[in-house]
Amino acid sequence: MREFGELCEAVANTASRTQKVRLVAGYLKSHAPSELAIAATFCSGRPLPVSAGALRIGGSQMLAAAARVVAFDDSDVAKAYDRHGDFGGALADLMEAGPQRSLFHAPLTIAKVASTFAQAARCSGSGATRAREALFAGLLADATPLEAKYLVKLVTGELRMGFKEALVVDALAAAFDRPAKDVRRALMASGDIGEVAELARDDRLPSATIAYGKPVGFMLASPITFGGRYAELEDGEYFVEDKFDGIRAQAQVKDGQPFLFSRRLNDVTISYPEVAAALRGCSTNFIADGELLAWRDGRALPFKSLQTRLSRVAPDAELLASVPLSFMAFDLLAEQDEFLIDHPLAERRRRLERLPAFSDQFVLSPGTWLRVNAPVDDLQRSDLESRFSAARARGNEGLMIKAAASGYLPGRRGRQWFKLKRELATLDCVVVAVEYGHGKRNSVLSDYTFAVRNDDKLLTVGKAYSGLTDVEIAEKTQWFLQHTVSRRGRRLIVEPEIVVEIAFDIVQPSSLHESGFALRFPRIVRLRPDKSPTEASTLDEVRALAQH
Ligand code: AMP
């Protein structure tokens, strides 16, 4: 584990991707055959292979485990956390400073860590929480501060931000001298980076079998602005379909058994029993990409209806009847033993249409082909915009425009899939509180809580931390520090002077904020130094947007 900790530090300390790849490749190459799969899994930031399920060790369990190993009190934790902005770094400090209770340190190997994590994932029933805590404490007892730091980061998933799977793919290609595209494809088929590492080492990448029952990563889309020049579209054929406002999911059937996976790659089959029932017994094995929608009489219901289902892991009969769901299928990634992601969309779509699986709960997303002659002229622009309006009239969010020749590229946001949406509106909000960020932003005030006006009061409506540049954040940090009204830990209540323009997807009723509303996916568009707080948007405007 020491080498892994040192690798993580070295990777964190270099900005160069090439150098990161070189470091990880060197680390992977140096491993004993039996440890390669674990090393690759850890390097992708995961504590366990995807198929092993969730580890379920939370922050409070980690703290309790740490308290078994080293002495500290609450204020030590708060101070250490303030210094680092992440729990891994904080714990490393506590381990450094606090008296060690254990006298014996067996060197901690990654094999020991992996088998302990696997054991923790298997704990169930009453007492499971304590058992996991004890297992984690056992690891900490043998860990150096550096090792403890990265044990925590593995468990919290924090490492996954710096250690993208794509980096490990390139590192495996470099370590074993294989084409990166072969490693990537094998990973998509098998879903298990540890297994792929072994295939790469043994020169058996093409033999990666499709791991039905494990999720394949999702392909992403790039935004195109409605009303713009559509310069992103190139000469060629595109498939144009509605952009549905539901939640992304992957449907699989293997030997008649259905699986549904969420965008975060969790198995969510149990939450959507009507879709699972519709797929059960299907005679073809396949993997389809699509969107889960609240659906009635051939039409999507508003996202708000779907939300009542999302909060329930296992819906009861009443909820199933009041909010029926369907899976809107728009892509086919595998059929029987054929992995199709390298095949062009045109072919995947043709094969999807022929799938013997469609029903009211598993619907084929309708769409049409469009030949684009770039640059897009007025005629095509108005054609696209009228398709867009038709999609909106059908209750959908906008359009998806997908290049016919493109392969399915999981995890990529490229020039193959475009989403055409129109921002509903933006709101000018007043920043009323700010917080220190995490990771790289742990010493700047980057998380803003903002409010709208109601008479002479300001009522909070949301929180956002993306959108401003580092320079803007740094400048505003200075301002906020000088205009702090009160402070609670990492959160500062500030004078309500700064106005920010906020974009969002929809406005929803919510008990979370004082206004009674929340913005879904809020993003800071820009600072509005030209506006004073008295010109900020009002609660009435928010209320009106909520009716859309
Ligand atoms: P966004 O969430 O705005 O980044 O847009 C991308 C999302 O649109 C995908 O992750 C899907 O959940 C969703 N979506 C809705 N309809 C489609 C469609 N026809 N094709 C692809 N993605 C779609």
Question: pLDDT digits over 71-105, tens only?
Answer: 888 888 888 888 887 788 888 888 876 545 455 66
Which residues lie closer than 8 Å to 386 by C-beta, 6 or more apart? Answer: none
Ligand 1 and 245: CB distance under 6 A: no
Q: Are domains 222-421 and 426-546 of this chain identical in fold?
A: no
User: Which of 239, 244, 388 to mutate to test ligand 1, by most ligand atoms within 8 A of the CB atom?
Assistant: 244
Return the structure tokens found at 350: 């043709």
Report the alpha-carbon distance of residue 540 to residue 267 in Å, rounded. 41
CATH of domain 46-156: 1.10.3260.10
Chain centroid, CA 45 distance in Å = 14
The whole-number pLDDT of residue 101 equals: 47
Token reading at 26: 């060197």
H/E stretch holding 152 reads helix 145-156
20 close to 167: Cβ distance less than 8 angstroms: yes
Round to whole Å and give the CA distance between 296 and 27.
Answer: 53
The pLDDT tens digits for 460-472 are 999 998 778 888 8
User: What is the pTM (predicted TM-score) of this model?
Assistant: 0.63
Domain 426-546: assigned CATH number: 2.40.50.140
On whether the CB atoms of residues 117 and 108 are closer than 8 A, the answer is: no
If one residue of 243, 263, 310, 349 were mutated to test the ligand 1 pocket, choosing by the most ligand atoms within 8 A of its CB, it would be 243
114-126 in b/e form (b: 16+ CB < 10 A) is: bebbeebbebeee
- What Cα–Cα distance (Å) separates residue 439 from each residue in 8, 20, 66, 430? 14, 18, 21, 26
Q: Residue with structure tokens 């005679």?
A: 283
Query: Which has the minimum average pLDDT: 102-116, 130-144, 241-255, 288-302?
Result: 102-116
Region 311-336: mean pLDDT is 93
Greater pLDDT, 203 or 307: 203
* Rounded-to-integer distance, Cα 444 and Cα 447, Å: 9
Active site residue 243: yes
Which element (helix H / strand E) includes 181? helix 180-190
> What pLDDT band is residue 161 in, cutting at 50, 70 and 90?
low
**DSSP class of 158:** T
Any atom of ligand 1 within 6 Å of the Cβ of 221: yes
C-alpha 451/C-alpha 462 separation (Å) is 7
The C-alpha R_g of the chain, in whole angstroms, comes to 25
Q: How far, in Å, CA of 477 to CA of 460, rounded? A: 20
Whether 422 is in the pocket of ligand 1, judged by its Cβ within 6 Å, is no
For the chain, domain boundaries: 46-156, 222-421, 426-546
Query: Which listed CATH number (2.130.10.10, 3.40.50.300, 3.40.50.1820, 3.30.470.30) goes with 222-421?
Result: 3.30.470.30
Is 365 a pocket residue for ligand 1 (Cβ < 6 Å)? yes
